[in-house]
Amino acid sequence: MENRNKLENIRDVFSIFHDGIILNWNGNEELLQLIIDCEYLAQKIDKSFTSFVIELKNIEKIEFNPWMNPINLPQKTFIKIEDIFQTGLEILSADIENEMVKITCNQHNLNYEYCGGTLLLNCKSLKIFDENKNELTIDEINKICEEYWNETKLKIENSLIEKRTL
């Protein structure tokens, strides 16, 4: 896979899962599985689903730069997977920067001395699975996302129309 295209795919997947939370993980740099809680998209596949699995193969770089809270604490950088994912990270956005995917995250657990940060990631390949372990393409998950937001937009518009007619 061409590097730019690979980075775009990684960015696109994490962008689709914005508002999702990386709840759990399993594996190592060779094969890392992230459990992404994103109920509103998962339920478009099956009403009982709440999450997806993102499988990252051959991680070339992974690092988390937390936003220290309070801000005057010494800055830390996490490079061990168990440190990076020691608590849930809420995905806010994803971009490409310096040949890496930069995933901006919030972190809400007050037991940690940071409130979010940036996750830097680069890997050889990425796969997405639903809770039944069915692989989804980026186009399929993007279509699910677009359907959800189109339905949400329609519900809001209909609600506004109903309020105007009252």
Question: Residue 27 belongs to what H/E stretch?
Answer: strand 21-27
pLDDT at 1: 43
Alpha carbon 131 to chain centroid distance?
16
Average pLDDT over residues 129-146: 96
Could you read off the pLDDT of 51-78 as tens digits, one per residue? 999 999 999 999 999 999 999 999 999 9
Q: What is the pTM of this model?
A: 0.89
Average pLDDT over residues 21-27: 97
pLDDT at 3: 58
Distance CA 34, CA 115 (A): 20
Could you read off the pLDDT of 81-135 as tens digits, one per residue? 999 999 999 999 999 999 999 999 999 999 999 999 999 999 999 999 999 999 9
